Structure 1
Amino acid sequence: MTINSITPLRPDECEPVPDAGLGALVTERGNLPLESVDVAAEVAGLAAGVTVTQCFRNAFDVALEATYVFPLPDRAAVTAFRMEADGHVVEGALKERGRARADYDRAVAEGRRAAIAEEDRPDVFTIRVGNIVPGERVTVRLTLDQPLPYEDGAATFRFPLVVAPRYIPGTPLDGGQAGDGWAADTDAVPDASRITPPVLLPGFPHPVRLSLAVAVDAAGLELREVRSSLHTVLQDGRTVRLAPGERLDRDFVLRLHFDASTALTLVPDPDGPGDGDEGTFALSVVPEPGPSAPAPKDVVLVLDRSGSMTGWKMVAARRAAARIVDTLTGDDRFAVLAFDTVVEHPGRPGEGGGELVRATDRNRYRAVEYLARLEARGGTEMVEPLERAAALLGDSSRDRVLVLVTDGQVGDEDRILERTAGRLAGVRVHTVGIDQAVNAGFLGRLAGLGAGRCELVESEDRLDEAMEHIHRRIGAPLVTDLSLAGDGLDPLPGSTGRLGSVYPGVPLTVHGRYRGAAGASASVVLRGLDAAGRPWERRITGTRAHNPAVRSIWARARLRDLEDRYAAGDRSLEEEIVSTSLEYGVLCRFTAFVAVDSRVAAEGGPEHRVIQPVELPRGWETPAAAAAPMLLASMPPTMNAAMPAPMPAPRAAAPGAPPASPAPGYGAGAPGGSAGALPEAFPGALPDAFPDTEAGPVPDTGIGAFPDAGRDAFPVPPGGAPVPRAPMRSRSVPRPASPAGVPAGSGAPGDALRTQLAEELRRLRAAESLPPAERLRLLSDLGSRLAALAVFLGGHPELEALAGELASAGPGADADVLWRQAVRTLEALSEPERRRPFWKR
């Protein structure tokens, strides 16, 4: 083991930690770069404005780059970012992700302070802060707006505080990794290393200081009760605060009980061409109680029994599934599928099964008895059970319902959406997320495919209430076939997303865009069919307001819808996603906030890089090796599949069942697997035409029991034996194989064409300083080659147009104009940056 440097400490600066294990010290200087996290929220009615402040401190004797992977609410709109250091404040700018990374890398290489905030999943974000000088504190602030879901007289403010370890399927990819997490990038999850931060085992001293305060304004409504379900809180007037000593190991959940009302809020754009010519609206319709006769339905229940469901989560999942089965009537049909790395169902071996059966007393009893025997084990292979469920529901004239009970801790969300989105068309999808650090972003996206409900259960005490909500959703809705029209304003087509249905006790909430002056009498008319098939109509008059959160919340919902359609296979949406993000100033997966200081702080850039480890979520079982207060640093790709990050210990499998994975299936697949091209879920992953500004080995990033042990501190796998240190990894971006070239005549360049155009572009740039006459000759030669290439492709309008311009240029032509035109066209067609996977830009 080699230790590059250790921050010097005087004897009076540290003391042994009682009962913490060999070599564990307390030091005021800290062992980890993240010193504190502060969350300040202002709740007003059914929306909240939140400021998240993260303070990083460099306890080392060299310049530092710190990385922190953390969660945010999946429906929150991040609208601002700033960095504060050495008395200087730098406001972040929202840019296309590749450009933001290039700005950050350039500033860090030049020794300037910089920070970048990126979205890797709807609820997983990464912040990097570069060139923190020794002893310095750098603070970054994120500003966001989030809507609050409302049901049965209560709104819920949920704020996640930890990214839980996720199951990473697939075969590891060759080359460098996209990030520094414990999982290797795979063909199923090409950015796995960005969403799997190392895990801090219990007992490690000097945890991150957490403060969280929520100021509640009922916005004129009567606030009857405030409840916190997972944390101890203190109330001071209308402000609720976390009690001191709480840790970043579970979601913060606050439920606010008050009566919502039907309302239409109109927010004109501040920068529109006229007063109120365009704007954003927020519509909330509270349904009136009414009879709802249940119609016969087909229900498929899919239950996650993977290793991460160990403990109270498996108990709650079994109860939830049994509750759903018990609520079915004799006119319904149903099927139960349980999955880990295999899919199982009630029934004896060789009986077939997994088909829809009548919900008779006998069949329901048999299913509940089967559910009661299930234990957690294995990995989380979710695609096959969802595909089976879609097949079972595919040929039915009945109301079709799919209910998924899981913690959602998977990394291949986009692959799952792409494989299942088309097959679940017309199916109402409800998701029940059971965990104290649930993957709410993915479960919300999946439920959105079928305009269903996503119910999050953070404790067994919440289960009955949550299942009552799901039961109502499985039953018949009050109003269906909704449409929206304007009177005095014009709702913009496509801006409202899916309207869904109206259910008992659940207000319908719609955000959208409108055009028109929206005067005092402006209103919208909501129409549909009630449970008996009769016309139903509600008119709501609008109220003008100045509330920027309405605009940003709509933009975030619009971006999430576009991103889900992109993940489901529509690759033409990338440009619209980027332009929407930049126009409305809301962060998405294709953009990033970057803040760059103009002053040089560290000559030569950071000499040390650290990825901040995160807490193991509360309630997750820890491996036996967790007794020593050591940090599980990120593992090299070759070791990752065999011994992944710490996870709940698997229960013993039943006789004849498939063996459990070494650590409940959490890993990157079998070691030694060959890397292949990225799957169709991520087309556009092209060879990198730009050199990486960060290429080269990464200095030690993890930290063990010493102030600067880095990766030299051996990680401890679940078996308890130290893992020998492996060679350090490169931060250079992987070069996965590109998708196959397109057919001739399609007009879309394939691999070979892009490679050739990139080479032509390189030649042009290399000859840019030549005299005009020489450049004209080179352009004429280029025109002849492009014309021949267009013929070979069976026609290509852009190439033909450029070739014609270059061929017709005479000796007196403007070489500069033609040169710029050729460069722009070749850049657009070779697309060396835009077409790279957005998580690696």
Structure 2
Amino acid sequence: MTVHITPLPEPIAPEAPGGGLGALSTDKGNLPLDSVDVHASITGLAAGIEVVQGFRNPFDVPLEATYVFPLPNRAAVTRLRMEAGDRVIEGRLKERGQAREDYDNAIAAGQRAAIAEEERPDVFTMRVGNILPGERVTIRLTLNQPLPYEDGGATFRFPLVVAPRYIPGDPLDDAQAGDGVQSDTDAVPDASRISPPVLLPGFPNPVRLSIGVDIDPAGLPLSEIKSALHVVAEESAEAGGKTTVRLQPGERLNRDFILRLAYAPQETAALALTPDAQGEEEGEGTFTLTVLPAGETRPQPRDVVLILDRSGSMHGWKMVAARRAAARIIDTLTADDRFAVLAFDNTIERPRDLGTGLVAGTDRNRFRAVEHLAAMDARGGTEMLSPLTEAAALLADSTADRVLVLITDGQVGNEDQILAHLVPRLQGVRVHTVGIDRAVNAGFLRRLAADGQGRCELVESEDRLDEAMDNIHHRIGSPIATNLSLHPEGLEIVPDTVAPRRLGALFPGVPLVISGRFRGAPSAGAAAAAVVVRGDESWEQRAAGVAAEDRANAAVWARAHLRDLEDQYAVDGGEELERRIVATSLKFGVLCRFTSFVAVDTRVVTEGGTSHKVVQPVEMPQGWGDAPVDAARPMMATQQMGYDTFSVKSVRGRSRAAMPPPGGGYGMAPRPAPAPPSAPPPPAAPSAPSAQSGPPPAAPSGPPPSTPTGPPSPPRPGPRPASRPPLQPDADELDVPDFLRGDSASAESAESAEPESYKILPAPGIETAAETLAQVRRELGQEFQRLTQFAAGDTLQARAQKLRDLLDKLEPMVMRLERVGADAALVAPLRGLVTELQAVRSGEGGEPPNLERLWGQTTQVLADFVGAGGQSQRGSKRAFWKRGS
């Protein structure tokens, strides 16, 4: 049993000094993760990074902590080390299923263990088990990454938080792959592994963050260092030209850490040859080719499709920046160009009077498009696949220079599904992505741009937008050269090892960086080797070989090559490709999605068995606090219906939120007392159209309604609600344990209690009665399955707990049905069941309830309501992220 936020047994003070909405404190301390230290050493255009995560157990029982965290998407993770007291254990890289088996066996045997797994190119999971009470365990990760260099500057970007992501698709029926707050779906089979619970705003800083960056220009003329989103202190060494940048104390893990280094270009081409270390493959090594092209773009007619994300997560400054970026791109078009603008959330909208196809870039048409953008605001869900597919179709038969531009924060979970569907349709189309966010999904946007042979530009603030748009203006134009190919001289390039797999196109100010494996280094030295890059229009450039000793080059190449193979696997699949990915990962010691680092202490420290499990909640990304909820899948804190809503999830067919068990928990707002059944629901705040089952609602005519952009409503004053009376079995059958009353937390109750649930109620008039009825039928069908599965072996305590959980879910469902005017004959039995369960919970009537009768009545009402259409049967998708679990 895993709890996302676990209450401590001691009394909790709801109004701790320095606290805020949802701030809770105890004398035992804070969450398991208490520190994150990042130290980077930048040399020229490469960085070596050590990430240190400190976990402390504030409980009086052994703890297993789970932390979902980001790393730079181009970084190669090459080492894991676990430290606990006088014990230091080096991690070993293994096939993912084997690593999980080793970890689970160690935890069951009472040994300390840690495992690091990759979920996405920039999302990872760390599990640390059998942390003793009061003990601190330190995990050290070693990374190597290249720094992207464009337009005279390099960027060091270190992400610090995994932002909530939109999860499309229908829930799968089998066990969840992870412990997150979103359900696995047929579109995102590992959604529960990339959706950690999120702290409410106002919770005191739970994690001490430290970042230090040592910068050695390595002979390059470094003229300026800028921190984009953080205040930093800068120290310069007396000699050597080295600089150290340190983050000011007290910052939170709620946005990317970004340093921009202004370098002047020195060379137009370079080829670094790094032979393998002695004892490895003789005569082989890794090459890194860098070409900074000279020349100008060749103007020619273009067909441009501009796709703008207007979903709920784009609220606030991101929507303003996205509109400005789109308008700037439209202004670059000429009458010789054709274009289309697609704005999407759950539906796709186009500027009025511009039709559904490509139109000429005349003054009138461009004005219509910009006018449409000016009236646009954020709303709804991030259904990204449909507009990308439509854009590819619009460009399919074009004979002009074809360009697709996507402006978004990239916060989706179905990256693999999008790439698998889209890449075969992108032949001959250049895809440029513009990522706008302070915690952007850079991994996905760079993958999409690379597959589309375009560029990715990241914008973290409005201040950065103008500079970024100048760069994008050059990318939208025709490239200097396309159809690139490599021609080695004096050495052999190992087939199918070049990364990136698609060489892309050459743009002004953007170096082409290619790496791969070579064999047959010339005996006369590296200078005898060279690589010539050729493109169309007779363009070519030659780079002479230079010997290099940096062993990180092999790891950086392996990471890029593995990323290409993983993207190929997402499109094509296949066991042979899987075996190749695993073999490459293990050979070069670089973590990937098919392998894991696992560290197991040989010392037995506990009796084994089941540990107390906590999933570390993460920060809400900066700037998201006042964003509206995604209508289709709410994933962020907001004020709606007069109470705090949060992180709704459907787990094994039951909707629930990332909320604490009765009595509250770390950083989470206590659940308010339920309204009496006869009271009408309070009016809902305006929200986006719902994406419940059935066809999407038609787009409203005219400009969309404005979304409030002010700060969220302040928390309501008042004492914390008292815990609710429980459902209880007959008094003569058994004694009711304390955990059913919500009074205390024994070890047994911690393992059996489920988090509270909320349902976010959409605004009146958004859903139709048929859509709502179908959605509630599905949800209650899954709830019925949960109630009755293995019910024969349930104790009366377990059934009481199940009924109590059911009431939390059933109340808002009935309110939804009543509000949209669903058939009263269908709703009446559900309302009667809610009323009876509420009466039992409140202790009305005096007599102890007959639990068996109540159980039978509940299951019968649900079975009658669900009928034949209640429970959908979908096939489960077993994938590599579930193996060994």
**What TM-score do the two structures reach when normalised by structure 1?**
0.76
Residues 490, 111 of structure 1: CA spacing in aligned structure 2 closer, same or farther, 3 A cutoff? same
- Cα distance in 2, alignment partners of residues 657 and 108 from structure 1: 59
Match of 2:594 in 1: 590
> What does residue 429 of structure 1 align with?
431
Q: SS state of the match for residue 166, structure 2?
A: coil
Partner Cα distance (2:224, 2:547) in 1: 29
Matches within 5 A, 1:627-646: 635=649, 637=651
Corresponding position of 2:287:
281
Paired amino acid for 2:76: A
Structure 2 Cα separation of the partners of residues 835 and 644 of structure 1:
25
Whole-angstrom CA distance in 1 between matches of 2:22 and 2:567: 48
Q: Distance in 2 between the 1:835 and 1:621 partners?
A: 35
Shift of 1:628: 12
Cα deviation digits, residues 49-91 of structure 1 (max 9, x gap): 1111100000001000000000011111111111111211111
- Distance verdict in 2 for CA 1:92–1:482, change over 3 Å: same
Contact 2:57–2:63 (Cα < 8 Å) also in 1: yes
Deviation at 1:469, TM superposition (A): 1.6
User: Is structure 2 residue 558 aligned with structure 1 residue 544?
Assistant: no
2:371 counterpart SS class:
helix
Amino acid at match of 1:594: V
Q: In the aligned structure 1, how far is the partner of 2:346 from the partner of 2:6?
A: 44
**1:22-41 aligned within 5 A:** 24-27=23-26, 29-41=28-40
Return the offset for 1:247. Answer: 0.5
How far is 1:285 from its partner? 1.5
2:585 partner SS: helix
- Aligned AA (2:324): R
Q: Tell me the equivalent position of 2:377.
A: 375
Aligned to 2:276: 269
Structure 1 counterpart of 2:733 = none
In structure 1, what is the Cα distance between the partners aligned to 2:275 and 2:21? 62
Partner of 2:417: 415
Asked if 1 retains the 8 angstrom alpha-carbon contact of 2:436 and 2:459, the reply is yes
Q: Quote how far apart the aligned CAs of 1:602 are.
A: 1.2
Q: CA deviation at 1:605?
A: 3.5
1:675 corresponds to: none
* Partners of 1:643 and 1:663 within 8 A in 2: no
Q: After superposition, give the CA deviation of every residue in 1:266-288 in whole Å (9 maximum; x if it has no partner).
A: 1101145676x010011111223
Change (3 A) 1:231 1:621: same
Contact 1:301 1:335 in 2 (8 A): yes
Partners of 1:839 and 1:281 in 2: how far apart?
Answer: 35
Matching residue within 568, 572, 578 for 1:569: 572
Per-residue deviation, 1:30 = 2.0
- Contact kept in structure 2, 1:185 and 1:191, CA below 8 Å: yes
Task: Tell me the distance in 1 between the aligned counterparts of 2:403 and 2:340.
Answer: 11
Change (3 A) 1:139 1:471: same
* Residues in 1 aligned to 2:396 and 2:562: alpha-carbon distance in whole angstroms: 29
Note the C-alpha offset of 1:28.
6.0
Paired amino acid for 1:549: A
Deviation of residue 174 (structure 1)? 1.6
- How far apart are the structure 2 equivalents of 1:627 and 1:229? 37
Are residue 332 (structure 1) and residue 341 (structure 2) matched?
Answer: no
For residues 183-582 of structure 1, the aligned pairs below 5 Å read 183-237=182-236, 238-260=243-265, 261=267, 262-271=269-278, 277-288=283-294, 290-348=295-353, 353-496=355-498, 497-518=501-522, 519-529=525-535, 533=537, 535-571=538-574, 572-582=576-586
Quote the Cα distance in structure 2 between the aligned partners of 1:234 and 1:447: 34
Match of 1:156 in 2: 155
CA distance in 1, matches of 2:618, 2:156: 23
| Cα 1:217/1:718, change in 2 over 3 Å | farther
Shift of 1:537: 2.6
Aligned to 2:484, the other structure's residue is in SS state: strand
Aligned AA (1:393): L
Q: How big is the shift at 1:492? A: 1.9
- Give the counterpart letter for 1:464 in structure 2: D
1:158 is paired with a residue of what secondary structure? strand
Residues 706/526 of structure 1: CA separation in 2 closer, same or farther (3 Å cut): farther
Q: What secondary structure does 1:174 align onto?
A: coil
- Equivalent-residue separation in structure 1 for 2:514 and 2:360 (angstroms): 37
CA apart distance, 1:187: 1.1
Matches of 1:274 and 1:177 in 2, distance apart?
42
The letter of the residue matching 1:536 is: W
- Describe the shift of the 1:706–1:294 C-alpha distance in structure 2 as closer, same or farther (beyond 3 A): farther
Quote the residue 1:116 is aligned against.
Answer: 115
3-state DSSP of counterpart to 1:605: coil
Supply the distance in 1 between the matched residues of 2:61 and 2:166 (Cα, whole angstroms). Answer: 35
Q: Decide whether the 8 Å contact of 1:213 with 1:240 is kept in 2.
A: yes
Distance 1:443 1:315, change over 3 A: same
Displacement of 1:408 in angstroms is: 0.6
Structure 1 unpaired stretches of 5+: 665-698, 721-725, 733-833
Tell me the secondary structure at the aligned position of residue 539 of structure 2. strand
Q: Aligned partners of 1:254 and 1:53: how far apart in 2?
A: 20
- After alignment, is 425-434 or 622-631 more displaced? 622-631
Look up the equivalent residue of 2:550 and give its one-letter code: N
2:270–2:291 Cα contact (<8 Å) kept: yes
Contact 1:643 1:718 in 2 (8 A): no
Return the alpha-carbon distance in structure 2 between the equivalents of residues 489 and 399 of structure 1.
36
TM-score, normalisation: structure 2: 0.72
In the other structure, the counterpart of 1:73 is 72
| 3-state SS in 1 of match to 2:603 | strand
Corresponding position of 1:179:
178
* Kept in 1: contact 2:167–2:414 (CA 8 A): yes
Instruction: Report if aligned partners of 1:203, 1:628 keep a CA contact under 8 Å in 2.
Output: no
CA distance in 1 between counterparts of 2:22 and 2:421 reads 49
SS in 1 for 2:383: coil
1:676 is aligned to none
Distance 1:603 1:469 in 2: 60
Deviation readout 1:760-780 (Å, 9 max, x if unpaired): xxxxxxxxxxxxxxxxxxxxx
5+ unaligned residues in a row in structure 2: which ranges?
237-242, 627-636, 660-667, 669-684, 690-698, 710-738, 763-782, 790-876
Decide whether the 8 Å contact of 2:485 with 2:535 is kept in 1: no
Q: In the superposition, relative to structure 1, how do residues 729 and 225 fare at CA in structure 2: closer, same or farther (>3 Å)?
A: farther
Structure 1 residues 557 and 652: CA distance shift in structure 2, 3 A: closer
Aligned-partner residue type, residue 88 of structure 1 = R
Change (3 A) 1:642 1:328: farther
1:296/1:385 CA distance change after superposition, 3 Å? same
Deviation at 1:9, TM superposition (A): 5.8
Instruction: Tell me how far apart the structure 2 counterparts of residues 453 and 156 of structure 1 sit (CA, whole Å).
Output: 15
Q: Work out which of the residue numbers 609, 613, 621 in structure 2 matches 1:605.
A: 609
The 1-side partners of 2:328 and 2:6 are apart by 57
Cα displacement (A) at 1:500:
1.9
Kept in 1, the 8 Å contact 2:343–2:350? The answer is: yes
> Displacement, 1:501?
2.1
Distance 1:545 1:23 in 2: 54
Q: Is the 8 A contact 2:213 2:244 kept in 1?
A: yes
Contact in 1 for aligned 2:658/2:755 (Cα 8 Å) = no
Q: Which amino acid aligns with 1:109?
A: A
Question: CA distance change for structure 1 residues 563 and 520 in 2, over 3 Å: closer, same or farther?
Answer: closer
CA RMSD of aligned residues (A): 3.7
* Structure-to-structure mapping, 1:818-837, within 5 angstroms: 836-837=879-880
Contact 2:304/2:339, CA 8 A, preserved across alignment: yes
Secondary structure of 1:317 counterpart = helix
1:548-584 Cα shifts (integer Å, max 9, x gaps): 1111111011001011111112324111111111111
Secondary structure of the 1:481 match is coil
